[in-house]
Chains A and B, each alone.
Chain A
Amino acid sequence: MNRQAQAAVLFLLGAGLLHAGFTDLYLRYVKAGLRPMLLASGVVLIAAAVATVWYEWRATRAQPDADNHAEDHADAHARSGADAHARSGVDAHARSGADAHARSGADAHARSDADAHARSGADAHAQSGAEDHDPAHTHHEPRVSWLLVLPLLALILVAPPALGSYSALRAGTALQQPYGYGHLPAEGPLRLSLVDYAGRAVYDHGRSLEGRQIKVTGFVALDHSGAPYLVRMALNCCAADAQPVKIGLTGRIPPVLQPDAWLEVTGTYTARRTKDPVNHGPIPYFQVTAAKPVPTPHDPYDETWNN
């Protein structure tokens, strides 16, 4: 990949991060707190792309009125690309004190890799600016750099959705004992987060929930026997370590449930419980009286665990 292509990838990567950061897209993958860093790094990547293009452009413009040495090289390139390559190659390598630069196999590669890396610390080619920027002598970054195109395409073209029922059923419920229970309003229907309801139901034995009307939001997951769960994924750091918290649904469940559909269920606490077949974690049940579909929330994950 040469410098123009690298600049393009850097620019697109930066633009992708900015796009994700300025919309709610980033909330599908990371926590809300990462947003400032995400935007800043997007700006830096774009700046790096612009700087790369600018220094390339300046180097090509400076080429004609460079000193004799550079003219020599430019001349040689004009005459025969292959010949000049050999010359400047030997030149640079000889100066670096390294003989036999194409010994074979791993060593030769290691050398060329080190050459490429040397740019970050110490670069033989950099000893002559003109030579370094000679377009025919451009460093090619290793092929692994091409892989950077993949997250770019995934983010901009596909924008994969937040983790849903597939991941939720593969992993066991991650319900943990809460450190404490917040005070609940004494009147009216309770609007609880799914994790809060599950924590109170299992570890507080529903003491604060008895006899109250409760509203909980989450997405639907159906296990292999078709039993419905309402799930919210909880994040530690990013979607890569998201873990589900599940509650079982019982009572007046809607006849047709679509996996991954978001629901707001209204109902009451029930003491019924089951064990998650994956990790034997506790899953409380919820007695449904009504359910209505809701749009995917602004932040699809539960981040209350560790903020």
Chain B
Amino acid sequence: MAVTKAAPRESVPDTPAARAPEGPRRLNSPLALTLLLVLMVVAQGSIRRVLSAPVMQSWMTVFVAVVVQALPFLVLGVLLSAAIAVFVPPSFFARALPKRPALAVPVAGMAGAVLPGCECASVPVAGALVRRGVTPAAALAFLLSAPAINPIVLTATAVAFPNNPEMVLARLVASLLVACAMGWLWQRLGRADWLRPPARAAYDGQSKGAAFWGSVRHDVMHAGGFLVVGAMAAATLKAVVPEEWLRMAAGNPVVSVLALAVLAVLLSICSEADAFVAASLSQFSLTARLAFLVVGPMVDLKLFAMQAGTFGRGFALRFAPATFVLAITGAVLTGTVLL
């Protein structure tokens, strides 16, 4: 949600006339941060008093728990994705894929399983693939599968659902299924003019170290921000929303799947962290939570913005709704069979 809200202000610096105020703003963020921290330390006594109500305490405990539990996995994923983005040349992937598009789609989908990275990393990588001549259908299959089925995400899922190891398999199968279906769908129906080919070079003119740490910093700041949004939502659902409401939503199979799928889109949590949020929604059926885990890495607000930026808005407007519908279908089918 923050993405859409920030839109008008973010675009302001693009007009020359509005650029002037950016100078002072540059000074502001460290200053604002310092002021904020000092203020918090000075006022900590009264802040603690305000927060001592049981509702607030349990909200904060759940909030901190989700962040603390997810951060290590986020950091691990960000490190590996930065390493791949910087040290593996994109041409490698083009050479590794079969020439026939229909065959390249599932191979690219599977390749997502061995390339760790969250969705923030997979959009630029997919853009690079298209630029290096990989067929778009295969690049899109990779785009959808990589954030959902890589080892780090599956490990995080196993950690989050220690009593339901079948959840890991279901997530893998459903995500791969949806990714390949979308790839083949694009191959049959997609038109080249919907896709604005991205034209950018990767890290030219930067040392490897600078590019690596720049990528780590950037991804942690972005994904971390969205993780905090997700943690706040999880804490609210857990500590504030009455149990009866959740049980009512969870009681109806259709409503529960749709509710969690929409929640996944709105929260935009990084795929390395989303399993822990899903685990906290313990009132919901495993199938509904699977829908949350399949939809989240493929369609959400943040991804939509990134896809529109990388491949063009015409593409994103067609791609995201189709993916949403297919992802729910795939999750429900897999959930019915496996869970």
Interface residues of A, Cβ cutoff 8 Å to B: 1-10, 13, 17, 20, 26, 28-30, 34, 37-38, 40-41, 44-45, 47-48, 51-52, 55, 81-82, 85-86, 89, 96-98, 101-102, 104-124, 126-129, 132, 135-136, 138, 140-151, 153-155, 157-158, 160-167, 170-171, 236-241, 243, 278, 305-306
Task: Please state if B203 and A126 are interface contacts (CB–CB under 8 Å).
Answer: yes
Does any Cβ of A come within 8 Å of B193's Cβ? no
Task: Please state if A2 and B26 are interface contacts (CB–CB under 8 Å).
Answer: yes
The smallest C-beta distance from B223 to any residue of chain A, in angstroms, reads 10
B243 interface neighbour in A106, A160, A170, A241, Cβ under 8 Å: A170
Task: Please state if B33 and A5 are interface contacts (CB–CB under 8 Å).
Answer: yes
Task: Please state if A34 and B69 are interface contacts (CB–CB under 8 Å).
Answer: yes
Interchain CA distance A195-B13 in the complex, whole Å: 59
Q: Contact string, B1-20, partner A, CB cutoff 8 A, digits 1/0?
A: 01110111011011111011
Task: Please state if B19 and A82 are interface contacts (CB–CB under 8 Å).
Answer: yes
B123 interface neighbour in A107, A117, A236, Cβ under 8 Å: A117
The smallest C-beta distance from A143 to any residue of chain B, in angstroms, reads 5
Q: Closest chain B residue to A126 by CB distance?
A: B206
Interchain CA distance A162-B250 in the complex, whole Å: 27
Task: Please state if B82 and A127 are interface contacts (CB–CB under 8 Å).
Answer: no
Interchain CA distance A74-B159 in the complex, whole Å: 51
Task: Please state if B127 and A119 are interface contacts (CB–CB under 8 Å).
Answer: no
Task: Please state if A114 and B310 are interface contacts (CB–CB under 8 Å).
Answer: yes
Q: Contact string, B253-269, partner A, CB cutoff 8 A, digits 1/0?
A: 00000000000000000
**Chain A neighbourhood of B37, CB < 8 A:** 149, 153
Q: Closest chain A residue to B9 by CB distance?
A: A143
**Chain A neighbourhood of B74, CB < 8 A:** 41
Does any Cβ of A come within 8 Å of B306's Cβ? yes
Chain A interface helix/strand/loop/mixed? helix
B26 interface neighbour in A51, A136, A278, Cβ under 8 Å: A136
**Chain B neighbourhood of A89, CB < 8 A:** 13-14, 16, 19
B72 interface neighbour in A41, A140, A142, A160, Cβ under 8 Å: A41
Task: Please state if A237 and B3 are interface contacts (CB–CB under 8 Å).
Answer: no
Task: Please state if A142 and B20 are interface contacts (CB–CB under 8 Å).
Answer: no
Q: Closest chain A residue to B196 by CB distance?
A: A98
**Chain A neighbourhood of B64, CB < 8 A:** 29, 151, 154-155, 160, 239
Task: Please state if A238 and B30 are interface contacts (CB–CB under 8 Å).
Answer: no
B213 interface neighbour in A51, A124, A155, Cβ under 8 Å: A51
Interface residue count on the B side (C-beta < 8 Å) = 113
Return the 7 tightest CB-CB contacts between A and B, nearest first: A121-B124, A114-B309, A144-B225, A239-B65, A166-B54, A240-B280, A109-B7
**Chain B neighbourhood of A123, CB < 8 A:** 200, 202-203
The smallest C-beta distance from A124 to any residue of chain B, in angstroms, reads 6
Task: Please state if B234 and A240 are interface contacts (CB–CB under 8 Å).
Answer: yes
Q: Closest chain A residue to B224 by CB distance?
A: A148
Task: Please state if B2 and A144 are interface contacts (CB–CB under 8 Å).
Answer: yes
**Chain B neighbourhood of A114, CB < 8 A:** 305-306, 308-310
Task: Please state if B36 and A149 are interface contacts (CB–CB under 8 Å).
Answer: yes
17 other A-B residue contacts (CB within 8 Å) besides A29-B64, A112-B14? A2-B30, A4-B30, A5-B30, A55-B214, A86-B19, A96-B199, A98-B199, A106-B7, A110-B313, A117-B218, A122-B198, A126-B211, A127-B205, A149-B36, A237-B161, A238-B276, A241-B282
Task: Please state if B69 and A121 are interface contacts (CB–CB under 8 Å).
Answer: no
Task: Please state if A48 and B220 are interface contacts (CB–CB under 8 Å).
Answer: yes
Does any Cβ of A come within 8 Å of B294's Cβ? no
Which of A7, A104, A111 has most B Cβ within 10 Å? A111
Q: Closest chain A residue to B23 by CB distance?
A: A81
A102 and B15 in contact, given A109-B7, A110-B313 (Cβ under 8 angstroms):
yes
Task: Please state if A48 and B23 are interface contacts (CB–CB under 8 Å).
Answer: no
**Chain B neighbourhood of A136, CB < 8 A:** 22-23, 26
The smallest C-beta distance from A170 to any residue of chain B, in angstroms, reads 6
Q: Contact string, B40-61, partner A, CB cutoff 8 A, digits 1/0?
A: 1100100110010011011011
